[in-house]
């Protein structure tokens, strides 16, 4: 059998426990050894489950080690890595959690997982200078409405059905977490200014405003789309800039 076919058969048998050990893999006696091959198969599964555990520590803490490992094991069985770089594995785990029947009653779990995935993506995003407030200092106020901004590669906007950002924040550190006082849907911004990933809960209107700016709307257009009682586009754009949400220099 050609070497490429041997490698393919080995990889397929590793990922599918129903397959027998490839006949090309032999033990000391020169015969196929299913028990030895099972060691490789188990190491692959353990390694991939470990990658999911490392990527989603708060989701794991919420449901406990045993439940999470069983859920991660089901995910590993259903979805194999598409890249040799393990940090890319598991980005679809939140969608899997949303459809995982044993977790159906923990409705907020997939939102927390989405936030954790965004945190990892932000951490590994491309390096780029973030826009500073000084860039607006010499501009005339009448020119602000025409400004456009480019989103920073690390910036992520998220909309949740549950208070996922508050749950995530409550589980940082070792103290006993407290449930959110106000159980409501939340919207969040994830950024990475100065190499530190930050998660901010957005105020009312902030998500629509930021999404419009990220999509290329001018500051004036975004303000109109997000207009509402008490909405101040000036303070919102300052907050986004301070969070490192935009690229420097300003978009032309």
Give the Cα separation of 82 and 73 in Å (integer): 17
123 within a domain of the structure (yes/no): no
Domain boundary among 72, 106, 140: 106
- pTM confidence score: 0.88
Q: Are residues 194 and 241 in the same domain?
A: yes
Q: Are residues 171 and 217 in the same domain?
A: yes
Q: Are residues 144 and 100 in the same domain?
A: no
Q: Are residues 71 and 189 in the same domain?
A: no
113 within a domain of the structure (yes/no): no
Q: Are residues 100 and 133 in the same domain?
A: no
6 within a domain of the structure (yes/no): yes
Q: Are residues 90 and 160 in the same domain?
A: no
Domain boundary among 57, 75, 106: 106
pLDDT of 20: 77
111 within a domain of the structure (yes/no): no
For residue 1, give both structure tokens. 């059998």
Q: Are residues 236 and 155 in the same domain?
A: yes
116 within a domain of the structure (yes/no): no
117 within a domain of the structure (yes/no): no
Is-contact 105 121, C-beta < 8 A? no
120 within a domain of the structure (yes/no): no
Q: Are residues 90 and 171 in the same domain?
A: no
pLDDT along the chain (252 residues), means of 10: 73 75 72 75 89 97 97 94 89 97 97 98 96 88 92 98 97 85 95 94 94 96 83 92 94 70
pLDDT of 10: 75
CB atoms within 10 A of CB 155: 24
Phi, psi of 172 (to 5 degrees): -80, 140
112 within a domain of the structure (yes/no): no
Is-contact 149 250, C-beta < 8 A? yes
Q: Are residues 16 and 63 in the same domain?
A: yes
Domain boundary among 106, 140, 159: 106
CATH code for the domain of 196: 3.90.930
What residues form DSSP beta bridges with 130?
Answer: 247
Q: Are residues 100 and 137 in the same domain?
A: no
Host domain of residue 101? 1-106
pLDDT of 226: 81
Q: Are residues 145 and 242 in the same domain?
A: yes
| Number of domains within the chain | 2
Q: Are residues 148 and 237 in the same domain?
A: yes
pLDDT of 252: 64
């Amino acid at each position: 059998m050609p070497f490429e076919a041997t490698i393919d058969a080995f990889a397929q048998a590793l990922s599918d426990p129903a397959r027998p050990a490839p006949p090309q893999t032999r033990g000391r006696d020169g015969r196929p050894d299913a028990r030895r091959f099972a060691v490789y198969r188990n190491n692959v599964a353990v390694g991939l489950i470990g990658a999911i555990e490392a990527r989603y520590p708060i989701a794991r803490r919420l449901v406990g080690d045993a439940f999470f490992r069983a859920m991660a094991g089901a995910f590993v069985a259903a979805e194999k890595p598409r890249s040799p770089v393990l940090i890319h594995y598991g980005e679809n785990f939140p969608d899997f959690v949303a459809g995982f029947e044993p977790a159906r009653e923990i409705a907020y779990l997939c939102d927390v997982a989405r936030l954790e995935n965004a945190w990892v993506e932000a951490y590994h995003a491309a390096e780029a200078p973030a826009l500073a407030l000084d860039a607006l200092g010499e501009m005339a106020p009448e020119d602000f409405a025409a400004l456009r901004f480019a989103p920073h590669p690390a910036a992520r906007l998220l909309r949740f059905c549950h208070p996922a950002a508050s749950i995530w924040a409550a589980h940082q550190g070792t103290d006993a977490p407290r449930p959110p006082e106000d159980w409501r849907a939340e919207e969040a911004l994830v950024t990475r200014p100065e190499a530190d990933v930050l998660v901010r809960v957005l105020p009312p209107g902030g998500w629509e405003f930021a999404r419009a700016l990220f999509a290329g709307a001018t500051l004036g257009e975004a303000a109109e789309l997000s207009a509402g009682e008490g909405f101040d586009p000036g303070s919102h754009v300052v907050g986004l800039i301070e969070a490192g949400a935009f690229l420097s220099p300003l978009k032309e």
